[in-house]
Structure 1
Amino acid sequence: MAQWDVAVIGGGPGGYVAAIRAAQLGLKVAVFEKERVGGLCLNWGCIPSKALLKNADVVNAVREGATWGLIGAEGVEFDYGAAVDRSRQVVDRIVGGVEGLLRDNGVEVISGTARLAGTRSVEVGGTEHRASHIVIATGASSRVIPGFEPDGETVITSREALARRSAPARAVIIGAGPVGVEFAHLWASYGTEVTLIEMLETLLPMEDEDVGRLLRRSFEARGIACMTGTKVTRVERTGAGAVVHTQQGETAGAVEAEVVLVAVGFVPHTEGLGLEAAGVRTTRGFVDVDGKMETSVPGIYAVGDVTGKLMLAHVASHQGVLAAEAIAGLPRPEPDYVQMPRATFCQPQVGSVGYTEAAAKAAGYAVRTGRFPLTALGKAVAAGHTEGFVKVVVDEPTGQVIGIHMVGYDINDLLGEATMVAFLEATTAEVGFAVHAHPTLPEALKEAALAADGEAIHIAKRRATPREGAARA
């Protein structure tokens, strides 16, 4: 029977990072993975989708070639299959790199489906492995709506969508979260007639409402139909694809499509893991953890999407580090999930960290905001992409920036600075006083912070209307 200091079930962004960090700390580690390491993100999520989205950027740039003095671009053809091939090459390269990192750190990767065989043992393929500590990092997969079960051809999830070698002629996307809007942008870039259906009132409903509204205007200007506040009542499969039946208030409707992409969230991979027998507590299928990522059973930890905290790869990786360091006895502050960065990679891109304006008010903050439009940013004008803005949400008494929300072309390049602003609990005075290189995108964050204090340099100061002036008097 093999004996390990740490047994990690699942080799995704949470699991492999936990394994490497534990090995760095001198522990003997094994990772149990039924497929390739990298999990959903590296193999069938973050990485291949971002590779395809880069191809979409190139396609759109060529299509707008006359703007850049590119003569004769009108007749260029675009090979979607070649884009998919490139995305798989990117996956192979990155996953191969992770496999190398695990080897370099002395982590043993054991192939197979693992389950808990107790509170200190893991069973895979009939072999039991004893471990002083266990980390559950089994991830999640696309949620399936009863009645809308995917068939892999007409009704699909993001995994099948990433494997398609052609963009559909007409597509309905159910769900306008990050996955939904990214595929809407991707397919529309290749000429697909896209209808995006969202039950809530804005696109990207977990983001600031101002961001969702601008993204909708941008999408509709490109011909992407956006149906918000709309429920899908049923999907009727036909010989040519499907008819998606909808209900918006009292109005019923129907949309025809070649392909229906269901993008309504994720469910945890906990079934068959042996959690209940081991005494590991769950809530709605997600594993309960404390601030050290430890479950209800001492010595068993969980990280990543299976915890349901914030289902993002970089959050999983951070949790993986916290779990490994907790096992090694290193003290670390508990994670603040509000102040984790969030990124969506359609164009215009959406990035955020911290409270939305509505969430800050709901949490009891006295709020003021500052906003800077990219139309006033030299870098954006020079680059030819002026759609969007940066908005800061500020705690009025202290001036601390408690939320940053951005929408614009390649705007997620600002998330590094935004994350540091949140982590260091910076104020608008500090962000506004810091010198930013010109011309760069980060100047927009500086100006938004200044705008919150009424001191923005590069936008006109809004004058009060006579009615507003009388009210103030």
Structure 2
Amino acid sequence: MTHVVIIGGGPGGYEAALVAARLGAQVTVVERDGLGGSTVLTDCVPSKTLIATSDLLTEVESSAELGVEVPRDVRADLAAVNDRVMKLALAQSADIAGRLEREGIEFVKGSARLVSAGSVEVDGRTIQADAVLVATGAHPRVSPDALPDGERILTWEQVYALREIPDHMIVVGSGVTGAEFASAYNGLDARVTLVSSRDRVLPGEDEDAAELIEDVFTERGMTVMGQSRMASVRRDGDQVVVTLTDGREVDGSHCLLALGSIPNTADLGLEEAGVVLDENGFVRVDRVSRTSVPGIYAAGDCTGVLMLASVAAQQGRIAMAHLLGDAVHPLDLQKVSSNIFTSPEIATVGLSQRKIDEAGLHVDVVMLPLATNARAKMQGVRHGFVKLFSRRGMGVVVGGVVVGPRASELIHAVSLAVSASLTVDQVADAFTVYPSLSGSVAEAARSLHPR
């Protein structure tokens, strides 16, 4: 029986463990913080739980448009919200522990260090292995000029200790994490300033989607400071002061740092074992999750391939399938779907406009505003669109963007089309419910019928 040791109990680790066990391997998972990793305990699950409350309040604010009167002083109890956040995170972690136990997977709580491809040391105990999967994740990047104190200057892992809604939350960083938290606290009725070093929020995302979300942010009272790079953040009593590189200062009650992530690869013995890291400390892997050392695989945020829980899980599954001789489909980043949980949400899959332009592909594109959709009108939805990309002359769907409420659900139809290389006619011919927001996906496909 093959013995696999998995270092890290996040999505890349526990999903790999389940696959390995089902394929007949003996599996040991080593995790120092708790099963589910940062995804479940401090990152994805907590943040999306917080956002769920924010989204509800945002819907309540627009209820008058639907003929519903609600008291003007409806507010969230942030202490209760954050208590619920952490309770749900721990419950999800316990569910994962139960799944692993039912599959006969050994769980060892502790800090692991790689000795070799066949040996892992956990707090002085040596575990022999036939193969090792490294799935140690990443942690928030901080700056020497903006050190978090856990009270007023915060990383995204520390915000759940807050007991009251901030008077003025300054969010530094306008990538996915920054945009999501800025949207969440704006929905919770905090005053929010978003400091962006680029000329627009979400600089790596679809341009139309990013422009729309910035317009929504501004419409809802958020201050968006473009081309404004942080120089430092300091605490001044019950206030924080964010100093920009041009000398301007922004005063607030709290500051959330969303400056990116650093891989958890230090002090693991990786380089001593021969595992190649890139200049930023990420583990280099191929499309089946192999590192430079035979028998050592890696998955998830520690690889920097694409920092999504779904990609981490898929990398872990692929690694175990490759190791244990099952059918393997190498990771294809051109078919990955992702979602940004702002309000409205931004979901994407497949090729983006930027990648299409860089590759010089000939595509047809259509963008339909949700405002023309009958169900959207009924629900009072004003912001959003469906955009599809198809290969010119062939009609094969190669990518798409959905902006709107529950875009994370709506994108699945487009994801299936991209994954299966369906044509726009095949997407359009599939029945949709009337009225429904998904009808706009079919309508967009119908508009791209090859001529």
Range into which the TM-score falls when normalised by the shorter chain = over 0.9
370-379 vs 88-97, which deviates more?
88-97
TM-score, L = length of structure 1 = 0.91
Cross-structure match for 2:185: 187
Number of residue pairs the alignment of both structures matches: 450
C-alpha deviation, 1:425, in angstroms: 1.3
C-alpha deviation, 1:243, in angstroms: 1.8
C-alpha deviation, 1:65, in angstroms: 4.0
Cross-structure match for 1:275: 270
Cross-structure match for 1:439: 435
TM-score, L = length of structure 2 = 0.96
CA contact (8 A) 1:411 1:441 kept: no
CA contact (8 A) 1:305 1:311 kept: yes
**1:395 correspondence with 2:382:** no
Match for residue 411 of structure 1 among 403, 407, 414: 407
Match for residue 94 of structure 1 among 86, 92, 95: 92
CA distance in 1, matches of 2:155, 2:141: 9
CA distance in 2, matches of 1:293, 1:351: 26
Partner SS state of residue 278, structure 1 = coil
CA contact (8 A) 1:370 1:453 kept: no
Gaps of 5+ in 1: 456-473
189-198 vs 30-39, which deviates more?
189-198
CA distance in 2, matches of 1:198, 1:192: 18
CA contact (8 A) 1:236 1:242 kept: yes
CA contact (8 A) 1:287 1:302 kept: yes
CA contact (8 A) 1:66 1:73 kept: no
310-319 vs 221-230, which deviates more?
221-230
CA contact (8 A) 1:63 1:73 kept: no
CA distance in 2, matches of 1:454, 1:203: 35
Partner SS state of residue 405, structure 1 = strand
CA distance in 2, matches of 1:302, 1:13: 12
CA distance in 1, matches of 2:2, 2:121: 13
Query: For 1:320-399, what aligned pairs fall within 5 Å after superposition?
Result: 320-399=316-395
Cross-structure match for 2:236: 238
421-430 vs 298-307, which deviates more?
421-430
Matched-pair identity in % = 35
CA distance in 1, matches of 2:78, 2:103: 38
CA contact (8 A) 2:366 2:387 kept: yes
CA contact (8 A) 1:347 1:410 kept: no
CA contact (8 A) 1:282 1:288 kept: yes
User: Higher Cα Rg: structure 1 or 2?
Assistant: 1
CA distance in 1, matches of 2:37, 2:256: 21
Query: For 1:10-49, what aligned pairs fall within 5 Å after superposition?
Result: 10-49=8-47
Partner SS state of residue 131, structure 2 = strand
Partner SS state of residue 210, structure 1 = helix
Partner SS state of residue 48, structure 1 = helix
Match for residue 421 of structure 1 among 417, 421, 424: 417
C-alpha deviation, 1:346, in angstroms: 1.5
Partner SS state of residue 126, structure 2 = strand
Would the alpha carbon gap of residues 163 and 451 (structure 1) be closer, same or farther in structure 2, given more than 3 Å must change?
farther
Counterpart amino acid of 1:401? V
C-alpha deviation, 1:66, in angstroms: 3.3
38-47 vs 360-369, which deviates more?
360-369
Match for residue 264 of structure 1 among 252, 259, 264: 259
CA distance in 2, matches of 1:160, 1:387: 31
Partner SS state of residue 282, structure 1 = coil
Partner SS state of residue 196, structure 1 = strand
CA distance in 1, matches of 2:181, 2:353: 27
CA contact (8 A) 2:394 2:450 kept: no
C-alpha deviation, 1:385, in angstroms: 1.2
Structure 1 vs Structure 2 CA RMSD:
1.7
Gaps of 5+ in 2: none
Cross-structure match for 1:461: none
Query: What is the CA deviation profile of residues 388-420 of structure 1, one whole-angstrom value per residue up to 9, with x for unaligned ones?
Result: 101112222432222201111222211221211
Query: What is the CA deviation profile of residues 249-285 of structure 1, one whole-angstrom value per residue up to 9, with x for unaligned ones?
Result: xx65321111111112111000000011100111121
CA contact (8 A) 2:349 2:399 kept: yes
CA contact (8 A) 2:12 2:300 kept: yes
CA distance in 2, matches of 1:175, 1:106: 43
Query: What is the CA deviation profile of residues 215-243 of structure 1, one whole-angstrom value per residue up to 9, with x for unaligned ones?
Result: 00011000111122221122243223222
C-alpha deviation, 1:449, in angstroms: 2.1
